[in-house]
Amino acid sequence: MSSQQHQQQHTSDVLTAYGWDADRSTEFTPYSGHGLIPGRIARVDRSLCEVVTADGIVRAGHGGGELPCTGDWAVLEIPDDGREPFVAALLERRTTLIRSASSGRSEGQVLAVNVDLVGAVVPLDVVPDLGRLERLLTLAWESGARPLVVLTKADLAADADELRRDVEAVAMGVDVVLVSAHTGEGLDVLDAYTAGQTVALIGTSGAGKSTLTNALAGAEVTSVQEVRGDGKGRHTTTWRELVPLPNGGVLVDTPGMRGVGMYDVGEGLDRTFADIDALTGDCRFVDCTHTSEPGCAVLAAIESGDLPQRRLDSYRKLLKEARWIASREDHRIRAERAREWKLIHKEMRRSPSPKK
């Protein structure tokens, strides 16, 4: 085996634990032989990244182009003149988990990329907020990854099975797993789902994501804090980072989300509300808004009791929010183009006129 083949084998063996595969190896081929190495971004801290490479963790700078995110596969340059390593390029993102920025701006906030499975974590120590779950599922579907609902703290619920049925009624086409990190219930089932997968856990603070991460990792890899006296969770994880699991999976533990804003979620909304989407095909009017039109199949389902009013209200709310974000995005793009043209015209006026 040549030294280059040995290096490639070493790279593959180490990075496979983080999701490296034959397709990624093919993507990296154009960069081979140019002093560049592949790695997976485990954490982003302002202008620096922690990148998992075949030879260990490397802290690297980044700048210009697309901002790196936890889960990205990076093309890393490590100069031999003592300069800081830096991310030269990013390989193609297969999936992107994104929500609207918490500030209310039109830009999206990328939570994780190249994720295979998105676990919407819902605690059962309180009655599940089905509207919030629908938000989480919409983000998960839109990412391109496979959604999964993880009901935690099952040992603290007197009627866990009944709560699970309530959740299954809105989590259409999505598996629901009941777990308790305290008793170990359901952890073997969840372990089977996460084996060999890159998994992102999303949910509110106090939902049990950090406890679940430690249970799946078989070690305390992230700190855990008690839920506050008012029932709200404290933020335990304050950044996103990759955690390798014994089953060959990789877990992204994300910070608790107080707000779950919609961002470009057309297909995700249709998948989450598949029951409403199916009914719209029977409406008399193609552009039916399901508010007061005659022959509306959605309103008929409400009348008959086949569709809960809460479900339709939630759909309307998320749709309105998504459209508002889209309009803000269009306005921002138009404003940016106007600024660009203004600068171009300004430069043209400064340029000397050609002599006749």
Last residue of a domain, one of 228, 253, 278: 253
Region of poorest pLDDT, from 4-13, 87-96, 122-131: 4-13
pLDDT in tens, 223-281: 554 544 444 444 444 446 888 999 999 998 777 665 566 666 778 999 999 999 999 99
What average pLDDT does range 183-203 have in this prediction?
Answer: 95
In this structure, are 79 and 183 located in the same domain? no
Let me know whether 247 and 270 are in one domain: no
Look up tokens 């995700």; give the residue: 268
Q: What CATH code is carried by the domain that includes residue 47?
A: 2.40.50.140
* pLDDT at position 327 over 90: no
Domain limits for position 229: 96-253
Say if residue 187 is in the same domain as residue 104.
yes
pTM recorded for the entire structure: 0.82
Q: Is 26 helix (H, G, I), strand (E, B) or coil?
A: helix
Say what the alpha-carbon torsion angle 260, 274, 190, 238 is, to the nearest 10 degrees: -10
Residue 192 pLDDT class (50, 70, 90 cuts): very high
- Do residues 175 and 319 share a domain? no
**pLDDT tens digits for range 40-66:** 999 988 789 999 999 999 999 987 778
Q: Is residue 349 part of a domain?
A: no
pLDDT at 335: 54
Q: Which of 71, 90, 109 is the last residue of a domain?
A: 90
Question: Which of these ranges, 12-16, 86-90, 134-138, 224-228, has the smallest mean pLDDT?
Answer: 224-228
CA angle, residues 335, 341, 343, in degrees to nearest 5: 105
The verdict on residue 354 lying in a domain is no
Range with the poorest average pLDDT among 55-59, 77-81, 138-142, 339-343: 339-343
- The pLDDT of residue 3 is 46
* Portion of the chain with pLDDT greater than 70, in percent: 78
pLDDT tens-digit readout, 70-79: 999 999 998 8
CA angle 283, 273, 179 (to 5 degrees): 155
Residue 298, burial from CB neighbour count under 10 angstroms (0-12, 13-18, 19+):
buried
What is the distance between the alpha carbons of residues 246 and 241, in angstroms, rounded to a whole number? 16
Q: To the nearest whole percent, how much of the chain has pLDDT over 90?
A: 58
| Joined tokens for residue 40 | 């997976």
Q: Average the pLDDT over each of 27-41, 152-166, 268-282, 330-344 and give the range with the smallest value.
A: 330-344
Q: Any idea what the Cα angle at residue 258 is, between residues 253 and 264, rounded to 5°?
A: 85
Direct distance between the N- and C-terminal alpha carbons of the chain, in angstroms, rounded to an integer: 70
Asked whether residue 126 is assigned to any structural domain, the reply reads yes
Q: With bands split at pLDDT 50, 70 and 90, how would you rate the model's confidence at 301?
A: very high
Q: How many domains does the chain have?
A: 3
Q: List Cα–Cα distances, 247 to 52, 56, 211, 337, in angstroms.
A: 18, 20, 17, 49
Same domain, residue pair 202 and 281: no
Indicate which CATH number applies to the domain containing 159: 3.40.50.300
Q: Residue range 83-105: average pLDDT?
A: 83
| pLDDT for position 227 | 47
CA distances from 298 to 172, 276, 290, 291 (A): 17, 7, 6, 9
pLDDT at 303 > cutoff 80 = yes
Amino acid 47: pLDDT: 83
Give the torsion sign (CA, 276, 267, 269, 165). positive
Residue 156 has pLDDT above 70, yes or no: yes
